[in-house]
Amino acid sequence: MKKSRQFRQLVLLINILWILPIWGQSSSFRFDYVGHINFPASAAGCGSADTTGGTDVWGYVGLDGTDYALMGVMDGFAAVRIPDLTVIDVIPGPQTPGCYWHRDIKTYGHYAYMISQMIGTNEGLMIFDLSTLPDSVRYVGSYVNGAEITSHNLSIDTTSGFAYVTNSARNGIRFIDLADPENPQDVYNLIIGFVHDVYTHNDTMYVSEGSLRTFSIWDVADKTSPQLISRINVSGGGYAHNAWPTDDGKYLLTTEETVGKTVKIWDIQDMGNINKVGDYLGSNNLAHNVHTMGDLAIISHYAYGVVLLDISDPAFPEELDHYDTYPLNNAGGFYGNWGAYPYTNNGYVYASDVSGKLTLLKLVEFPVGTEPQETVLPDKLTLFQNYPNPFNPETTIEYQLPENAAVQLKIYNVAGQQVRTLVNSVMPSGMHAVRWDGRLDSGEKVPSGTYFYKLTAAGKQQIEVVKKMILLQ
């Protein structure tokens, strides 16, 4: 009996020693591309943007466990089933004045709330009942409190059941009680001076104060008497755009939406002595929003795409991966990735672009010290629908190659006459985009009408794909 017990103890010890290296093994992450869709957009342009039609994206898990992306689009509010990227519903939202379609979305229980910087159809704080998914979304109505119709940003503290909404004057934040989710009630309006974004969790509110170049932190446990805890003055800073704390509340990441201004990491463990400990900036030198998730930060970085950042050592943030949602260029303007949502049920990341594009990525974990497997490319050539469509006078055509190939992309009119050659070269595997301007080199316009774009790729075999588009001059 004694011998048998000693043998079992020895086997147990061997098993523990064998498992220990696995327990201590750290992981890294990467993005895998899954797919994308394009929503209608305006080709009129706005500021440095060439095409506008998309804004914020958020997520929701249905009662049956299905993931949904909720995106602010030119037409209003869109609900998209994941991972097949099926558009379940689009509910109209306000559109005046149209330019950038500023919309922001958050969820609380089985409800979604969306604000806009516009007036018109369904203006105000739009309320959506998501319990009717997967069939549709029930539009409950819009909440308007007096002259408070438009807003730039909102946050919902799910721990307290309050929404924090920037007010129409952009000089403060409305505290809105969601005890009755379909009948919100304003409780307080905190006047600060200037507010761009707000994030609140566990009754701690982080405010990005825009042109004031400051970030403030508030105790909002008492909804009618919020207390300022600390304010960060960024020396030589840009436009204070958004702020997001780490899960443990020890650090705060901020963006400044100004060319050349870094994403900053602040040690906020001592609110009386906040210090910057780290910086990061992608190659296009313009970051938009940052979110944190454990030791990771996910940044919507405009033309550079979606960035995956390791912040386990806040003093030395490390870029693990990035996915370029806007392969046309890497300029430092308002192109490409606007929003990124990383908190999905099944490890997806949603990325929304200014152009109206919704990209679905998969967050993949692999052991450090091993070579990550190559991202699986589609086994066939894919030609996507151009966007915007109809267009005037410019549009974007995207295609994806499973292998290196000799590519030709040509435009034809309805009579079959070739109008333009956009690509005629060997292209590497992966995603590509090209812009077509419906004007001749001399500046003369191509006539309005229906056109066809044909992609020919000669790799292991030659494949041709044709799609239709409409030009309205």
More confident residue, 299 or 460: 299
More confident residue, 42 or 88: 88
C-alpha distances out from residue 108 to 4, 9, 163, 282, Å = 57, 51, 9, 33
Tokens of 11: 């086997």
What homologous superfamily is domain 27-367 in, according to CATH?
Answer: YVTN repeat-like/Quinoprotein amine dehydrogenase (2.130.10.10)
Give the confidence band of 381 by pLDDT, cuts at 50, 70, 90: confident
Give the confidence band of 366 by pLDDT, cuts at 50, 70, 90: confident
Mean pLDDT for all residues in the chain: 90
**pTM passes above 0.75:** yes
Average pLDDT rounded to a whole number, residues 276-304: 97
Average pLDDT rounded to a whole number, residues 297-309: 97
Torsion angle of the four alpha carbons 91, 95, 99, 100, in this order, in degrees rounded to the nearest 10: -40
Q: What is the pLDDT of residue 372?
A: 58
Considering the domain 382-471, what is its CATH architecture? Sandwich (2.60)
pLDDT by residue (tens digit) across 2-53?
A: 444 443 444 333 343 333 333 334 778 999 999 999 999 887 667 777 889 9
pLDDT by residue (tens digit) across 134-170?
A: 999 999 999 999 999 999 999 999 999 999 999 999 9
d(Cα 362, Cα 354) in Å, to the nearest integer? 21
H or E segment to which residue 267 belongs: strand 263-267
DSSP calls for 379-433: SS-EEPPPBSSSBSSEEEEEEEESS-EEEEEEEEETTS-EEEEEEEEEE-SEEEE
Average pLDDT rounded to a whole number, residues 202-216: 97
In sequence order, which residues have a C-beta less than 8 Å from that of residue 150 and are 6 or more positions away?
A: 115, 116, 117, 118, 119, 123, 168
Q: Where are the domains of the chain?
A: 27-367, 382-471
Average pLDDT rounded to a whole number, residues 68-74: 97
Give the confidence band of 275 by pLDDT, cuts at 50, 70, 90: very high
H or E segment to which residue 9 belongs: helix 2-23
d(Cα 185, Cα 36) in Å, to the nearest integer? 37
Q: What is the pLDDT of residue 373?
A: 56
Q: What is the pLDDT of residue 330?
A: 87
Q: What is the pLDDT of residue 368?
A: 74
pLDDT by residue (tens digit) across 211-244?
A: 999 999 999 999 999 999 999 999 999 999 999 9
Whether a cis peptide bond, with omega within 30° of 0, leads into 181 is: no
Q: What is the pLDDT of residue 3?
A: 42
d(Cα 436, Cα 470) in Å, to the nearest integer? 12
CB 361 within 8 A of CB 417: no
d(Cα 178, Cα 160) in Å, to the nearest integer? 9
Q: What is the pLDDT of residue 459?
A: 81
CB 315 within 8 A of CB 294: no
Single-letter residue type at 47: G
H or E segment to which residue 15 belongs: helix 2-23
Average pLDDT rounded to a whole number, residues 166-194: 97
Give the confidence band of 393 by pLDDT, cuts at 50, 70, 90: confident
